[in-house]
Structure 1
């Protein structure tokens, strides 16, 4: 039994190591709750509260496909600008984009997404509207990376990163 428990623990840690993660970087002084929706409710996730006090990293299950949106403290929970993501997609790649399809008027929550290490490609904008977000169902704006750690900015402000 000891061996079985150790093997299961090892496999669980290996699965977590290969899972994706998103770090939320709040650029203003607004506290937000980030809500997650997985396709087919296959990977339910609890909401998280984020603020500018520190960057908050959330682990995702390998194979997660879905989206997230942020809601400012005191505001009603309604869909806004979405961060869409698929971890472990075709070729073990990560697919992502900032989507304005549901609510293009949400200009203060999800803003930009990019791979943590390479910082390219980037989806989204510091100021909306821009030509680097997903606006209609057939936009060719989905980005792809071999990395499984994505940075997502929230709120008004600038990262100081030059995404050439």
Structure 2
């Protein structure tokens, strides 16, 4: 076996071969603190600050499930619009959505999410409300991708992306499917 293959096998066995990431992109001049909430049994992720108009990338452990929200500089730490993710789920798929369940009035924090390379499907809105976010428990809005790298926009403004149209034909999934409690 070539030495590269041995190294790749070793890294995969150690869980280091593929990192899961989310790149947070600020669309305005407001600095925001990102607060992470892991699901039970998942590793804690330290809060980060994303300066206004800049990007910050966070690495997540293999199989991490949880969410995050953004707190604008000077605002109270109150959960708002959530970015939710389940990395390396069934068949190594990444499931994600933008959720308005906790605070649908947060229009300054998490806005949209999408796979970094494929750029579709997209969850969330440039202007809330829209029909592409998760509003009620068991809503059919969770998106799926084979990528492990996501983009999450923050704040007011838009981000120019290449070759992207809202892909309303992309499959969405009920929460029970992601949690393994689906019925036929």
Using structure 2 for the length normalisation, give the TM-score.
0.80
Measured after TM superposition, the shift of residue 151 of structure 1 is 0.2
* Structure 1 unaligned spans of 5+: 1-6
The 1:123/1:109 distance shift into structure 2, 3 A limit, reads same
For 1:12 and 1:31, locate their aligned partners in 2 and report how far apart those are by CA, in whole Å. 36
Q: 1:54 to 1:12 in 2, by over 3 A?
A: farther
**Which portions of structure 1, spanning 4 or more consecutive aligned residues, are displaced by more than 6 angstroms?**
none
C-alpha contact (below 8 Å) 1:16/1:61 kept by paired residues: no
| 1:74 is the counterpart of 2:71 | no
Compare 10-19 and 42-51 and name the one that shifted more. Answer: 10-19
Matches within 5 A, 1:40-59: 40-59=40-59
Partner of 1:24: 24
Q: CA RMSD in A?
A: 1.8
TM-superposed deviation, 1:42:
1.9
5+ unaligned residues in a row in structure 2: which ranges?
A: 1-6, 167-184
CA distance in 2, matches of 1:38, 1:163: 31
* Counterparts of 2:74 and 2:24, CA distance in 1: 19
Q: Which residue of 2 aligns with 1:163?
A: 165
Higher mean C-alpha deviation, range 36-45 or range 84-93:
36-45
CA distance in 2: counterparts of 1:53 and 1:103, whole angstroms: 24
Q: Give the drift of 1:52.
A: 3.3
Q: Give, in whole Å, the separation in 2 of the partners of 1:102 and 1:46.
A: 21
Superposed displacement of residue 143, structure 1 = 0.2
- Aligned residues, how many? 156
Give me the whole-angstrom Cα distance separating, in 1, the residues matched to 2:68 and 2:100: 12
Structure 2 partner of 1:3: none
Q: 1:16 to 1:72 in 2, by over 3 A?
A: farther
Residue 95 of structure 2 aligns with which residue?
A: 95
Asked whether the equivalents of residues 20 and 60 of structure 2 are also in contact (C-alpha less than 8 Å), the reply is yes
Change (3 A) 1:20 1:159: same
Match of 2:128, SS?
Answer: coil
Separation in structure 1 between the aligned mates of residue 49 and residue 79 of structure 2, nearest angstrom: 16
Partners of 1:48 and 1:119 in 2: how far apart? 24
Could you say which structure has the higher helix fraction?
A: 1
